[in-house]
Structure 1
């Protein structure tokens, strides 16, 4: 589907690049995985998939390093693709990332994926198979199976990877990890994570309280014509087919619908659960149980609670991690025993507590830690989440959120939703990607993609 010729900006894209970007090309011939080559003069040629919204932000941040040349841009919305092409002269332009991969071959060193959640794995896998470094927005993939496939493919490719959990690179998170891992509050057997965001299906009380900003909570029956600047079929990608409607596009509306995403848990869980997952060196949970209003077949919940049980890890004791979103909060919060932060992470140790958000943290009770001597820093400072990925691709340093780490974190977040949707405690067999004795969880762990799409 060519870009609309009437667009003024389209005229500024050369016909040679336009044809190369949208013409029918031979199917990709994937090579054996290999480490992507370093660009000449310590620069990288990068292809960007998804360049509007978060994708546009990633494009700006990564090119701001001064070490990247934009080789290609791709977006199902031609407004964003054309705008990015104008800003980066010489970049090839695509609307379908499958055709982009057909064209780029060995001409790029790395790929940045900033599409909607349900196409992350499908946009990322070809890059890994071609031996390209990859930056992918969070969550890493749409479900547990896709996440595991991407994690394994990245390991096999041996390339530099980074998931877009920008807060992971901040000094505050680094200092919290150091405090927990050095034993500042003793052994931690309990942790709580809560976020105030309440986007999704709401209870009657929540709906009344938020009626001025309530989204549609049922699949629309009317059919709308997609705007000329976007390809609805490409946007759907592997998701089940349904007619276009503005309740799905533009974002962030799509994020509430199970067919396209997994609500607050997979989105904000990538940022907030990251801190306890890292600090406590968690792996796969043993069990997960979730609570909330009855699950809706179409829409993720606004409010939900999930409780994870993790086993002992080396010299660390078992730990219970509880997640709260929307109206749910930890008892210690509702009883006023800790500061009333809208969102936070609370570690409970046998020598005290640590409360953190994105930018600050407290050791509690505060009077107990007045003379506390912090450990010498041992988590290396980051030059910035995007910079560390670019630098690592060019052979300097390493990333803080590689797929080897981000994959298991993403799987754990997805399992909170799986437990919620099946309505029972799940016992997780990580090796086999199965909820023991719960076959109804299988289609939530792995779904069959729409015809024409495969990993």
Structure 2
């Protein structure tokens, strides 16, 4: 029987689960004390997510901040941000930004995925606090380098997975770790987004933002406001084309992103990773269409096997995207949420999405009394990090946590591209049974670029 069918073996759970589970509400966010000293910030990436990070961090009321530097390869984004902070220095190349950092306390990285590590590493090496958008890096080797640099620097770090700071995930973690559904031996994570390699009909059905099946043969002229060479950064050079830019078109291309697994996996796999205290998987096996050398798939799945962790038993985590879904979901054994995380324990199940969760079967948990909250609520990921910059307090998604999560997401893609079940040795960063997987674990940067 395929791995995807294992959940149906727990027949007593599937038969008693109902689509009308009792949704458990979570309490509101709690404010935190605000240090009064100013944090001097540099923003690398000022449009899209970078623009939202800029707005949030400069409007929160917990820590006084000062924007001293702005950088973006997109001149339109840079000019827009600079109009709001005219005293900030402006850069197009973040390598130039790091030539003057005496007045910078902390750096916010919101660039395209393939340049995250290249903006993060020099900041860490200079002893700056770093907030980096998800996914933390473009590949496994970069994740390990960033983790090591963060540990050596001893600064405040945070990967931008804003859902991690919301109450719902905290309440789910408390339920799982309090034994509400007993020992958990399976977790299933699915997202309905299907962006990537697929037919034109599928792309239209799935509302993909661009349909492409191979690298364009023709080149196009980049927009006047875009420095295309700097946008390419450490990746192998290719001529500009509108199928790469603006984002998030780029995320399907292996050279620049890692598809849905890397992007949304940072949010959705975060919950079982946290609740089940996961780290490095022992094996990874992926399923999907024939791998394309350039483009990530729209639909795929990956199975991770984890060993025991303290009192927690060995377990599997299965990821599904696009058309791939858990068998119990397909058969209507649980509420058919478009995106979700399902924990399967010896005493029941817990289903969650970003904002709500439900214990199943409903009848068995009708009188369940949840544990008293023991994970403090967060003022928000941005605020949490800014407070940590001033006080040394902990953050919810430091690079010591986000690094292994990012590595695991990348390994699902590595297994998919290698076409084999991987026996993973985390210490040596290699699949002991599959040397051909090495080519997908990292890459040499283009001339002029280095992680230091």
CA offset at residue 222 of structure 1? Answer: 1.0
2:189 to 185, 189, 193: 193
Instruction: Provide the C-alpha distance between the structure 1 equivalents of 2:309 and 2:207, rounded to a whole number of angstroms.
Output: 45
User: 2:156 aligns to what?
Assistant: 160
Q: 1:376 to 1:179 in 2, by over 3 A?
A: same
2:41 pairs with 1:50: no
User: 1:413 aligns to what?
Assistant: 409
Equivalences, count: 416
Instruction: Provide the C-alpha distance between the structure 2 equivalents of 1:58 and 1:88, rounded to a whole number of angstroms.
Output: 14
4+ residue runs over 4 A deviation: 207-214
CA offset at residue 401 of structure 1? Answer: 0.2
Conserved? CA contact 2:73–2:227, under 8 Å: yes
Conserved? CA contact 1:203–1:293, under 8 Å: no
Conserved? CA contact 1:248–1:254, under 8 Å: yes
User: 1:100 aligns to what?
Assistant: 97
1:88 to 80, 85, 90: 85
User: 2:60 aligns to what?
Assistant: 65
Q: SS of the residue aligned with 1:51? A: coil
User: 2:372 aligns to what?
Assistant: 376
Instruction: Provide the C-alpha distance between the structure 2 equivalents of 1:425 and 1:215, rounded to a whole number of angstroms.
Output: 30
User: 2:225 aligns to what?
Assistant: 229
2:436 to 430, 436, 440: 440
Out of 205-214 and 145-154, give the one that drifted further.
205-214
2:143 pairs with 1:147: yes
Instruction: Provide the C-alpha distance between the structure 1 equivalents of 2:161 and 2:70, rounded to a whole number of angstroms.
Output: 22
Q: Deviations over 1:231-261 (max 9, x none)?
A: 0000000000100111101111100100001
2:263 pairs with 1:255: no
Uncovered stretches (5+) of structure 1, i.e. residues with no partner: 1-39
TM-score (norm 1): 0.89
User: 1:21 aligns to what?
Assistant: none
Conserved? CA contact 1:287–1:308, under 8 Å: yes
Superposition CA RMSD, Å: 1.5
Q: 1:237 to 1:209 in 2, by over 3 A?
A: same
Instruction: Provide the C-alpha distance between the structure 2 equivalents of 1:265 and 1:421, rounded to a whole number of angstroms.
Output: 13
Q: Deviations over 1:367-417 (max 9, x none)?
A: 100110100100011011111111111106321000000000000000000
Q: Deviations over 1:140-160 (max 9, x none)?
A: 000000010001100000000
Q: 1:168 to 1:144 in 2, by over 3 A?
A: same
Uncovered stretches (5+) of structure 2, i.e. residues with no partner: 1-34
Q: SS of the residue aligned with 2:234? A: coil
Instruction: Provide the C-alpha distance between the structure 2 equivalents of 1:419 and 1:206, rounded to a whole number of angstroms.
Output: 24
User: 1:23 aligns to what?
Assistant: none
Q: SS of the residue aligned with 1:324? A: strand
Instruction: Provide the C-alpha distance between the structure 2 equivalents of 1:203 and 1:349, rounded to a whole number of angstroms.
Output: 38
Counterparts of residues 294-313 of structure 1 (less than 5 Å): 294-313=290-309
Q: Deviations over 1:158-216 (max 9, x none)?
A: 00000001000111000000000000000000000000000000258735745886512
2:173 to 172, 177, 184: 177
Q: SS of the residue aligned with 2:51? A: helix
User: 2:279 aligns to what?
Assistant: 283
Conserved? CA contact 2:195–2:208, under 8 Å: no
1:76 to 60, 69, 73: 73
2:432 pairs with 1:402: no
Conserved? CA contact 2:288–2:300, under 8 Å: yes
User: 2:22 aligns to what?
Assistant: none
Q: 1:211 to 1:269 in 2, by over 3 A?
A: closer
User: 2:123 aligns to what?
Assistant: 127
**Highest relative contact order (Cα 8 Å, sep 6+), 1 or 2?**
2
TM-score (norm 2): 0.90
CA offset at residue 288 of structure 1? Answer: 0.3
